[in-house]
Amino acid sequence: MEFTIKKITSPEKLQTGILVLGVFADGKLPPSSRAVDEASQGRLARLIAHGELDAKPGAALLLHGLAGVAAERVLLVSLGQSDSGAPGDKAWRDAFAAAGKALAATPAKDGAIALDGETLPPGRGLDWALRQASRIVADSAYRFDAPRTEKKEKGAMKERGARKIAFALSAATVADKALEDAVRQGQAIAEGMALAKDLGNLGANICTPAHLAGAANALGKQFKFKVDILEREDMEKLDMGAFLAVARGARQSPKFIVMQYHGSRGGGDDHGHGGKAHKGKNADKNGKPRPVVLVGKGITFDSGGISLKPGAEMDEMKYDMCGAASVIGAFKAIARMELPIDVVGIVPATENMPGGDATRPGDVVRSMSGQTIEILNTDAEGRLILCDALTYAERFKPGCVIDIATLTGACIVALGKIPSGLLANDDGLAEELAQCGTAAGDPVWRLPLWEEYQDLLKSNFADMANIGGRFGGAITAAAFLSRFAKAYKWAHLDIAGTAWVSGEAKGSTARPLPLLAEFLLARATGGEQPH
């Protein structure tokens, strides 16, 4: 997909396959829509007055061959009611999602989206809008390339979707490289999301730990960053007893993937930004850069192990590597954006399978940190692979560590499927992530991590048990992880409810990649919140 920014004075004269216009449900027309309405002798206003366009934000109405208008098609999208002045973030995003959906399905080859300053949500700037818009529109065109015998999408259908899309801004807008950058950033994030979605949607027979390692290696080659793959012997040498306890039931070899992106050094490697990232949150007191470390849970299939899961919907446990996929996808996005920041990605990858040599409930293992763990339930495996990855992360002297994991069904019970769960040992980091989640439309909600919860992990046979009983499961899982994250600022994102959708539209969402990208962008550009 190719995006451009066009500055225009007369949207009605724009030669394009499909022109997308925002309108308010109560009939108020932003400048671009007003111009098209006037050129078409008030056609838009009449259609809205007749109730042809549903009031709900994101409702859409497609018009063909509008008299007096150069565009072949005009798509009206509702921004909701105008009474509050401008749409909120959600209404605005819903409108762009509708635009993206229409642009992905149209037979038109090219399209344009009018983006009037008057329609921006309060407090949001054009760069924010262009970054969101290009990401949403590019992401709408994502299709999983399923291996089917017959290609059903033959002929006209196959060709659908506008490939060239222009953002039409008022000619009065100040020309600004920041706006071009914002469009490229959104596109880079969508590209990372497509990779994350592909990895998530693949069956676990294809998307094995070795496959994840291959995907990381391929990215490292393409963008020239360092990728190390640790094998079982390496993990044994490092005494990763918790991770290895999960891997022992599987025939597939475990992989411990380490990606290192150095954007802060500038010069030499063509990133050319230098300096900037050595200040503030991304550096220690002496100005030495400290990386952001992302840790992604990479269970390529979670059968539960000897504590076998029930059969219903077990296929969805192929998605238990979505944390890993979001980290690998984030690396694609930051490398494309050439962000001037240092980021380390760690992915412990293995299957969780039952087998003659699998870990049993009651087994006690020693983690890389030296702390011992009584494994009471082999289905609480995510925390076992993550705890060794968190210990391994210490060697990078991180500015902060964020782990991303489809960790607990309890998180879905607590929060539903709207926000990801957020737990942290640092209020500043938690607040930063929450704000970036809101800005990216990829929300998180914080749960408490009080000392009192630690008692629930007591064991008679080891330093701790790997489960904390029936209640507060998302919190006790994080309480477990916090024991391995004492050396740095740390946040944990539980994405069990947000990483994929079930039912007819079953598929990976790539969440929380939009949040991670927003966070890294903000950190790379001096720690200010993106707007």
By CB under 6 A, name the one of 185, 303, 369, 406 that touches ligand BES: 406
Could you give the CA distance from residue 73 to residue 224 in angstroms, rounded to a whole number? 43
272 binds, among Zn ion, ligand BES, Mn ion, none (CB under 5 to 8 A by kind): none
Q: Which is nearer to ligand BES, 20 or 474 (CB)?
A: 474
The minimum distance between CB 329 and ligand BES, in angstroms, equals 19
Interface segment toward ligand BES; rule CB under 6 A; list 225-233, 248-256, 334-342, 403-411: 403-411
With binding defined as CB under 6 A, does residue 459 bind ligand BES?
A: no
Q: Which is nearer to ligand BES, 227 or 306 (CB)?
A: 306
Active-site pick, 93, 383, 483, 523: 383
With binding defined as CB under 6 A, does residue 380 bind ligand BES?
A: yes
Q: What is the DSSP string of 284-332?
A: -TTS-B--EEEEE-EEEEE--TTSPPPSTTGGGGGGGGHHHHHHHHHHH
Structure tokens at 224: 């020239």
By CB under 5 A, name the one of 382, 419, 443, 472 that touches Zn ion: 382
The DSSP code for 283 is B
- C-beta separation of 364 from 373 below 8 A: yes
With binding defined as CB under 6 A, does residue 403 bind ligand BES?
A: no
91 binds, among Mn ion, Zn ion, ligand BES, none (CB under 5 to 8 A by kind): none
Q: What is the DSSP string of 200-240?
A: HHS-TTTS-HHHHHHHHHHHHHHHT-EEEEE-HHHHHHTT-
Q: Which is nearer to ligand BES, 166 or 207 (CB)?
A: 207
Please identify which residue in the block is written with the tokens 């339930």.
377
Could you give the CA distance from residue 429 to residue 415 in angstroms, rounded to a whole number? 20
With binding defined as CB under 6 A, does residue 377 bind ligand BES?
A: yes
With binding defined as CB under 5 A, does residue 304 bind Zn ion?
A: no
Name the pairing type of β-strands 2-8 and 164-170. Answer: parallel
* Residue 4: its H or E element: strand 2-8
Measured distance between the N- and C-terminal CA atoms of the chain, rounded to whole angstroms: 25
By CB under 5 A, name the one of 302, 342, 351, 518 that touches Zn ion: 302
Q: Which is nearer to Zn ion, 87 or 323 (CB)?
A: 323
Q: Which is nearer to Zn ion, 167 or 484 (CB)?
A: 484
The minimum distance between CB 299 and Zn ion, in angstroms, equals 5
The minimum distance between CB 358 and ligand BES, in angstroms, equals 15
- C-beta separation of 259 from 219 below 8 A: yes
Of 122, 118, 113, the closest CA to residue 183 belongs to 113
With binding defined as CB under 5 A, does residue 320 bind Zn ion?
A: yes
- # chain residues binding ligand BES, by CB under 6 A: 15
Interface segment toward ligand BES; rule CB under 6 A; list 35-43, 222-230, 278-286, 380-388: 380-388
With binding defined as CB under 6 A, does residue 381 bind ligand BES?
A: yes
Residues 6+ apart with CB under 8 A from 356: none
Q: Quick check: is 297 catalytic?
A: no
By CB under 6 A, name the one of 37, 127, 320, 351 that touches ligand BES: 320
Structure tokens at 302: 């979670």
Name which of residues 225 to 254 contact ligand BES (CB under 6 A). none
The minimum distance between CB 363 and Mn ion, in angstroms, equals 16
Provide φ and ψ at 312, rounded to 5°. -60, 130
CA angle 395, 398, 402 (to 5 degrees): 110
Q: Which is nearer to ligand BES, 47 or 456 (CB)?
A: 456
Active-site pick, 109, 160, 309, 417: 309
Q: Quick check: is 163 catalytic?
A: no
Spacing of C-alpha 17 from chain mean position: 31
The minimum distance between CB 7 and Zn ion, in angstroms, equals 50
**Helices (H), ranges, 310-424:** 322-337, 382-393, 409-415
By CB under 6 A, name the one of 12, 72, 139, 302 that touches ligand BES: 302
Cα separations (Å) of 330 from 344, 372, 405, 422, 464?
A: 11, 33, 14, 18, 33
Which residues contact Zn ion (rule: CB under 5 A)? 299, 302, 320, 382
Which residues contact ligand BES (rule: CB under 6 A)? 302, 320, 377, 379-382, 406-410, 467, 473, 496
* Active site residues per annotation: 309, 383
